[in-house]
Structure 1
Amino acid sequence: MITSELIYSVSQLNREAKRLLATHFMSVRVEGEVSNFSAPSSGHWYFTLKDAQAQVRCAMFRGQQQRLGFRPGNGDLVIANAQVSLYEPRGDYQLVVDHMEQAGDGALRQAFERLKNKLLKEGLFDESRKQTIPLIPKKIGVITSASGAAIHDILTVLQRRFPAIPVLIFPVSVQGESAKFEICAALQQANQQAEMDVIILARGGGSLEDLWAFNEEMVARAIVASEIPVISGVGHEVDFSIADFVADLRAATPSAAAEHAVPHQSEWLSGFKFMENQLIEKLRRQLNLQQQRLSWLNKSLHRQHPGEKLQRNAQRLDELEQRLNKSIKQTFTQGQQQLALNSQKLKQFQPTDKILQHRQKLVYSQQRLQRAMQLKLSTLKQQQIGVSQTLHAVSPLATLDRGYAIVQHQGSQKIVKSITDIAENDLLDIRLAKGRIVSQVKSVIHD
């Protein structure tokens, strides 16, 4: 029996099927796991997207790959933008992928890298803007979950290393949608209280999704805005978060963050003991040096004391008096000798008149000599009295006898010369002609 029904060739059928698929599915987004991935020398990628119940062949040509920031591999979960098509030579239904992005953890990693690069360009990771962690904080703030293992580890380390430092805990959620808001609020509250020297921001390990609250931009900016240094201890040693990069110090774990926050008290006690011994030794050397200097000053003061000068001048005066007396006696002796010689000559010639004249002259000379001697003695005594009075007048002791006093700072013995040298409540040592007075300054009056 002959019919007029249209009969398709295989190639016609595949072509029509391809057209229908392309017309009906202009563009689709499909999520699935990559398998059977291959990249032949042509540069095109061929793979299969699958889920638990089905799979579909996919192709991504080389020209579309340049816009991707990653190379897919077997097991990756991706979201593909594609056109539904059919490969005519084999009649295989397939997706022609023009774009692809990672799904699940992969999408989070892309978001992580985008935010990381953004904050890096802003300079928020620069070491120059990070604050120094105090050597011995007066108080430590801890922002973490109140029920997690992290708080137990932190408190255990702090108790072991430096139990005297108080700790203030700010309990927050460390995962979930509300975690980022609670963390930001806790950082703001800690800065408002301004009681702490350092803040530990921590949580235990987990997946990237579990740790995501510490990769939020608002949390990163809250850490940067903190006027109190922040130590981040998020996850395990291999985990890195945005909070780690912007924090003033990154610790591998919560326990490590606690170790960075405080020193070990035994190390500081040993250091204090060493410094104490050094200080004692330095003070001992300084005391010996000052004692030697004081001894030298005492000797120097003793040599310059007015009493010493008066004693030396009095000794010199006595010496001059002795020399004068010796000179007078010598002159008198010579005069007697000369008189005897002249008398002897007179006896030889017996000139009566000459003798009488010479006797009168001798008496007159003796009288002049005696007057000269007395005048010389009186002059020397007056000089002696004048020198003594002059020395006594310039002596500080004479000044004290006239009612004056020498005022010194008690302890330093520094002499007070002006009203600007003293202040209220200073202790003064007041030396009088006889005795001393210790007084305290009640007020200072500037004339």
Structure 2
Amino acid sequence: MPSSQSEANFQRDIYSVSRLNSEVRAVLEGSFPLLWVEGEISNLARPASGHIYFTLKDPQAQVRCAMFRMKRQLLRFQPENGLKVLIRARVGLYEGRGEFQLVAEHMEPAGAGDLQQAFDTLKLKLQQEGLFDTALKKPLPLLPKRIGLITSPSGAAIRDVLSVLQRRLPAVPVLIYPVTVQGEEAPRSILNALRLAEQRHECDLLILTRGGGSLEDLMAFNDEEVARTIHQLSIPLISAVGHEVDFTIADFVADRRAPTPSVAAELATPDKQEMLDRITSLQRRITLATQRHFSGGRQNLQNISDRLERVHPGIRLQQRQQYLDELGVQLQRITRIKLEQARGKIRLLESRLGGGIPTHRINRQREQFSHLAYRLTQAINTHLSLQRQRLGSAGGKLDALSPLATLQRGYSITRLLPSRELL
């Protein structure tokens, strides 16, 4: 028996409570898309985590709801008990207690849907008419002479704007146009201030601003007549309505949109230190440009002076004189060369002519005769010397054979003449 009971338990698919709640949550979340649900807030709780928990009810039923901190931070209003709201939520189950609940992704006061539809319709209409065209936006003045502030005199926005303006550029005066920024009278109050600023033209820049709020709170800035009046202004206007996530028709029509009133003040005026730095930079650039201008002027003046000197008559006369001197030197050199060439030709002709004059030939013949006479004299002298030598040699030989020599040695020679007489 125990064995069969164990086998039966083994074959059963037994759910734990946590598994059951988990699968039910998955079925619920998978079966329903994001839903719009309308009801009244009750049992609102705000723990330190930043999440909010509440019950959404109507006369017949109620449902638990949760909105986590990341989505709550995007709310444009403060949820309160008894407030009728419209939420966009996911259907789910809180597994810890097994409670059916809605997890809200978005919340707005009931009736805001109609306001949003009216906002979208007017935005599309004005956009098609070209009121949002960036080409029509007027540039903001670099340094406004006076700023007009259109806002509530008792709101936080005016304090933020004035604080930033005082810090950044206290020298710029501010003219406040007090208006009502919320309620039925707000559109007319804003219109009167805009028209008054345009009529007086006391300012060269306007700031239209207020703090944050719900779509219903900001409806005065979504008024069509207010938008058209802003578009027709000749004075540049900065719109800074609500917080960074808030957008109004006035923001789209204005020349510039600022996410907060403080940013609007920063857009309206340059920072004092930035202006001083810019002025210092401009002074430095002006100084450098002036120096370059004067340097260029001096250089141009020097160039013109040089050109005048180059075309001065005295310079031209000097150049002509120098040219004449050069021509004179060339003429002398050419004349000298020509004279040398002529002298050479004359010498050549004289040489050639001199070869044909009889005097020269006679002189040459005389020279030749003198030379031949000298040679003849030398030859005769040589011949006579040779003959003398031969004669001397023959005389010596004759003396050796002469009877006189024999007689001188003591001998005598006796010969009979033809007459036979003794000598």
Please report the TM-score for the alignment, with normalisation by the length of structure 2.
Answer: 0.50
Query: Which structure would you say has the larger Rg?
Result: 2
Please report the TM-score for the alignment, with normalisation by the length of structure 1.
Answer: 0.47
> Which one has the bigger helix percentage?
2
Question: Which fold has the larger relative contact order, with Cα–Cα distance below 8 Å and residues 6 or more apart in sequence?
Answer: 2
